Structure 1
Amino acid sequence: MNSLNTYLIGDTLRSFREYKRLSIEELSEGVCTEEELSSFEKQVSYPDLETLNSLLRKLNVDLAYFFNVASKSSINYSNAVIRLINRYKRDWDYERIQEILDKELCNPIFQTDHLRQFLIWHQGICKFYLEKNLDEALELLYEAIDITNKKREDYNEREIEILTSIAILHKESNKFEEAISIFKKALDYFESLPDILDPRGKIRVYFGLAQALTEVCQYEESLIYCKTGIEYCITHELIYLLSSLYYQTGENLIKLFRKEEGLEYLDRAIYILQVQENKKFIKIIENEKDKLLHQW
């Protein structure tokens, strides 16, 4: 296969395999050795067309679509990188995100304001979660905002999402009052937008704000944002963070001595996760449920 160096064969192959939740052993079985597949994913060597086609059939991915995603042309390539980073972020895999950032921060493709902002934003997130350095993380996040909004006013949707990340890092650092203030600022900016392209950003604010308010024992106010977030999810037909909002509602109710009502919401959270077959988070919520009831 000539000119394969114009495609991200390895990263794209690994991306599809992980998306389908297949191990290297499972995907390689009957097609190639595990060592060969590992070599393909690391782009140490390339599969021939027949081998690649066999792997893609197991992944249920069309060959033409694969090469479109794997293309290094600036538009396809940058979109593929953004998709990878967003997926690793959902999985909290900041090591993988940092690996991508290390490769792409100096890439000429990513020197436009919009793309450079995206990378610096996630560099800040990685700085916090991998190095536990809040100050440097915040510097990077504000630097990302300044790329498109030096005055830091009249935020657009992307800038509000970065501001939400700033609030989340404060919350994760137990700086709850600061987090609450920034979450509310982000929510005000969302309310001022004529249209929201991705409703998940606003849901993140509702949930983060509710969490922070619970931490400072403002259970009634937290309930307001939980229920508003739940209604927003239902209105937009989104399951994103819905289980977390149900859990947060249940936690608040239990701490307000409304145990039976709270348990109903915790069970709703678990039900949604069961539908999603998210065993990892079911276990987390069940453990948290036990802790709450133990405190009762």
Structure 2
Amino acid sequence: MDFSLIGKEIKILRSALNLSQAELSEGICTQSQISKIEKGEVFPLANTLYYIAERLGVDINYFYDLATNPQLSYIEEVFTQVRELLHRNEYEEVYTIVENEKKNPLFINNRKNKQFLLWTEGICVYHLKRNKREAIKLLQSALDLTKMTSKLMGEREIEILNSLAIIHFETKSYEEALKIYNYTIESYMKIPYHHDPTIKIKILYNKSKTLTRLNMLEESTKSCKEAIKWCVKHNSMYALGSLYYHIGYNFSLLLNHDIAIEYYNKSIQIFIIQENKVFVKHIKEKIDELSILID
């Protein structure tokens, strides 16, 4: 048995719930003990591990199984593969993976893992079957799995809400989408430590698109600029080109073509660096169209 794996998994689950070592140890043991357990320097007593498992929302047997089955790193591989496929909009492949893993005890016996499957299944059901009702039901089930196990909404839950808002946006329920985006931003900023800064960027960008559909163009641009500041703060280029483009788009709707072109040019520089030839071509065409209107 490799007991060091238990410490590593405790750290992974603690991070997923956005709990500090002090918060996890409160009323159970000392923060120093948690630190040593996570480093694999000591193995927790049975009663200590029981309370740690309870706070993390898993069965204590999960940790014992992990110690005897190092193959559990397989779970992280599945997470990574699914996220990469979703990024490429390959929903058929994701759905196949989800259907297979739904029979896997490693997923069905762990709340966070099961939550991941329900979340991704909800995304696939919407995009492949256009079944909004069933997709929302799956996403809500995913949220319900952990709502009683963490005092703060974690990054995973916020991502699920973002997916929920996207479905409302794509089905033209803009007011409902905006309501969810505002709530997710508020919840995200309450998290003490942000492990994935791109989450806020995604939400603000999606919120800005929703505001544009509601003809709230100034608010939309403000949302984009907030996201750009967040990108700069975290040295991230994530969605940066799209954010500049959307500001330009808002100004084009306001018939302020000079400023629109200015932001389109900023956007195009990002997409050139990223070698996104499709977007570069599209934006150049937009600039040409607006240039004619100015002349």
TM-score (ref. length: structure 1): 0.71
> 1:164: how far off?
0.8
Match of 2:232 among 217, 230, 234: 234
How far the C-alpha of 1:157 sits from its partner, in A, is: 1.5
1:224 aligns with 2:189: no
Flag the 1:94–1:264 CA change in 2: closer, same or farther, 3 A. same
Aligned counterparts, 1:1-296, within 5 A: 73-111=70-108, 112-149=110-147, 154-286=152-284
Partners of 2:213 and 2:193 lie apart in 1 by 31
What is the RMSD computed on CA atoms of the aligned residues? 2.3
**C-alpha deviation, 1:279, in angstroms:** 2.0
Percent identical pairs in the alignment equals: 35
Q: Deviations over 1:42-78 (max 9, x none)?
A: xxxxxxxxxxxxxxxxxxxxxxxxxxxxxx9533211
Question: Comparing 180-189 with 259-268, which one deviates more in the overlay?
Answer: 259-268
> How far 1:237 sits from its partner (Å)?
0.6
Q: 1:232, CA displacement in angstroms?
A: 0.5
Residues 268 and 150 from structure 1, CA distance in 2 versus in 1: closer, same or farther, beyond 3 angstroms? Answer: same
Matched position secondary structure for 1:141: helix
**CA shift for structure 1 position 213:** 0.2
Indicate conservation of the 8 Å contact 1:138/1:166, yes or no. Answer: yes
**Number of residue equivalences:** 225
Give the TM-score normalised by the residue count of structure 2. Answer: 0.71
Q: Any idea what the Cα deviations from partners look like across 1:91-126, whole Å, max 9, x if unmatched? A: 111111111112111111112111110111000000
Return the offset for 1:163. Answer: 0.6
Structure number with higher relative contact order (C-alpha < 8 Å, ≥ 6 residues apart): 2
CA 1:162–1:294 in 2, change beyond 3 Å: closer, same or farther?
Answer: farther
CA deviation map 1:211-241 (0-9, x unaligned): 0000111000001101000110111011111
Deviation of the 1:83 alpha carbon: 0.7
Structure 1: which amino acid aligns with 2:181?
Answer: F
Deviates more, 1:112-121 or 1:148-157: 148-157
Q: Does the aligned pair in 1 maintain the 2:257–2:290 contact within 8 Å?
A: no
> Structure 2 unaligned runs (5+)?
1-68
How far apart, in 1, do the equivalents of 2:174 and 2:291 lie?
A: 24
Residues 152, 191 of structure 2: 8 Å contact kept: no
